[in-house]
Amino acid sequence: MTPFVLAAVGDVLIDRPEPPSALAAAAAVFEAADVTFGNFEGVLTDHHQSLPGRGSGTIARRSNASGLRHFDVLSLANNHSLDAGYGGLDDTLASLRDVGARTVGAGRTPAEAWQPVIVETAGRTIAFIAVASVFRVGYEARGQRGGIASLIAVDHYASRFPAAYVPGVPPHVISVANKDDWRRLEAAIAAARAQAEFVVVSMHWGDHTRPYVITDFERETAKRLAELGVSLVLGHHQHRLRGVEFFGNMPTFFGLGHIVFDQPRYADELRANGADWLNLPEVELEKRFGRYGHFPRPSGFL
């Protein structure tokens, strides 16, 4: 059996005067891999403005695509791919393909958004599927309208203390996947398995307000993906490294963080949301992220 190396990263956004400099330090790692994958979380356009209420922090000029030449496959199934509307998505698709990256998880039609990408390397075939559970309403591909491949979930709330009155206590949240979306995902996985030896599913998911907490919905989704024969799950959205768990033989990386994210003020936002944890004692980390939060601990990584 011929081995192959997959290099995968989480969120990527390049917006700088010299785009190739963004990943220069990691170039050797990418070049040593047989296949490279990332989640491009932004828009590449020279003509389209951000939608009302979305801000311009994720809109970059098309020339920034030159910094993404290291990637073989880039997911666009996330909450920023349509920040400049369908015109911005079209420009992004064209820009990435111009530099040799294949895109997955978004398209001009639902069929294109759900189409697996098949990569052949070292005599092996790997299929990539990309899906988002976190995004703005209207970004999803529906009917004849393009957009992103979506796995929408509806939240239901149950009291944590059904035999007592405890006003103000946060409820237990039960997230149920949309049946139509799940059927589309099942069909995409079946199509991928018919064409490839390995199936990789990219998931844009999770609770960004608690970046080191893995939700029940994430674990349940990963379990169901393993039952469908998926080989590997690559998660992202929180811009933090998160936990890893095996479901049978299928590894799930709940959060790959980000490798480069050229968004204004992002460093300050990270610090405000807890990225200063390196200087905190473990007892303070537990207060901030919970006893079972996934974060590096002085007593050992959990």
- pLDDT for 212-257, tens place per residue? 889 999 999 999 999 999 999 999 999 888 989 999 999 999 999 9
Q: Which residue carries 């170039």 as its tokens?
A: 27
> Sign of the C-alpha dihedral, residues 175, 180, 184, 190?
positive
**Is a pLDDT exceeding 90 seen at residue 271?**
no
Query: Residue 177 is part of a domain; what is its CATH number?
Result: 3.60.21
Does residue 197 form part of some domain? yes
Does residue 180 form part of some domain? yes
Does residue 26 form part of some domain? yes
Does residue 186 form part of some domain? yes
Does residue 295 form part of some domain? no
Q: Residue 3 has what pLDDT?
A: 86
Does residue 289 form part of some domain? no
Give the whole-angstrom CA distance, residue 76 versus residue 131. 9
Residues 6+ apart with CB under 8 A from 251: 232, 233, 244, 245
How many other β-carbons are positioned within 10 Å of the β-carbon of residue 270?
A: 16
Domains identified in the chain, total number: 1
Containing structural domain, residue 187? 6-264
The fraction of the chain above a pLDDT of 70, given in percent, is 89
Does residue 67 form part of some domain? yes
Q: Which two tokens stand for residue 242?
A: 């998160």
The fraction of the chain above a pLDDT of 90, given in percent, is 78
Give the whole-angstrom CA distance, residue 200 versus residue 74. 12
Does residue 290 form part of some domain? no
Note the pTM of the prediction, 2 decimals: 0.87
Q: What's the whole-number mean pLDDT along residues 121-134? A: 96
